[in-house]
Amino acid sequence: MVTGDDLRARRANSFGARAAAYAEHRPDYPAEAIRWILEPLGEGPHQVLDLAAGTGKLTGGLLAEGHHVTAVEPDEAMLSELVRHHGAARALPGTAERIPLPDGTVDAVVVGQAFHWFDPVRALPEIARVLRPGGVLAALWNDYDNSVPWVDEFVRVAQSSVSEQDDLAFDPLTEYERFTDPVKRLFPHAHRRTAESLVAMVNTHSHALVIQEEERAELNARLLAFLKSRPETAVGEFDLPLTVFVKRLRRV
């Protein structure tokens, strides 16, 4: 019998098999959001830990802003992609529950598209341990902008048989006594896509990675048919409207 916890574990560990596709098709994060996260620290550059860094979608933005980045990621294939694309970052294997850094050595910990996979009871004390007092913790999530009608319809079409488990995220960054001043903000974002590359992006999401090949083929055919039927997405490149949800806290 497959339990909810079993499925969650499978989803959490599903990304490495498609690491190259993840690097190619997932969106990055807006510079405005990165600057807002680090604003309480004053002028940089800062020592930033990108935790559960994946293939470096957030790492790249931090490096572009001139910060010193340590990227920690448990999956070897994902970490290899990160090193290939963002060689200026210090890349280390590790998890949120066991961070391979000394106490009080970073100014900020940022988590892109991953905090919902953590065990917060174990991860939050670890994050507090490596952060300097006054440091920043922030979690970010790219999501579809459902205020756009075609995007809202696309999200409904893109459901798989395990999508009902997607109460995983939004804002699972729970409070902890070592953190204060929680602030939330939404940032507009966009991801340049074609119909085919948007379908490829959906295939890097865990709800599509863990289903059977037959269902995935049906899902992809349904998505492509929908996109080819819409004037906004039928031909050539278009911007996929996104919103980036950010929650920021300060280390006491």
pLDDT category, 2, cuts 50, 70, 90? very low
CATH superfamily of domain region 4-144+166-191+241-251 = Vaccinia Virus protein VP39 (3.40.50.150)
Parse the chain into domains and list their residue ranges. 4-144+166-191+241-251
pTM, to two decimals: 0.91
The identity of residue 87, as a single letter, is: G
Looking at residues 87-115, what average pLDDT do you find? Answer: 97
pLDDT at 56 over 90: yes
Pairing of strands 106-112, 131-144: parallel
The identity of residue 30, as a single letter, is: P
pLDDT at 1 over 90: no
Residue 170's nearest CA partner among 109, 246, 236, 230 is 246
CA distance 97 to 72: 11
Quick one: which H or E segment has residue 186?
strand 179-193
Residue 227 · residue 234 · CB < 8 Å? yes
Number of C-beta neighbours around residue 244 at 10 A: 23
Could you tell me what percentage of the chain is helix, strand and coil, using 3-state DSSP and rounding each to the nearest 5?
40, 25, 30
What SS3 state is found at 241?
strand
The identity of residue 55, as a single letter, is: T
- Tokens matching residue 178: 């070592």
Looking at residues 82-99, what average pLDDT do you find? Answer: 97
pLDDT computed for residue 17 by the predictor: 62
Give CA 29 to chain center in angstroms: 9
Helices (H), 190-237: 195-202, 206-209, 213-229
The identity of residue 69, as a single letter, is: V
Task: Write the DSSP assignment of 108-164 as a string of letters.
Answer: EEEEES-GGGS-HHHHHHHHHHHEEEEEEEEEEEEEE-TTSHHHHHHHHHT--TTGG
pLDDT computed for residue 22 by the predictor: 85
- Arithmetic mean of pLDDT over the chain: 90
What SS3 state is found at 230?
coil
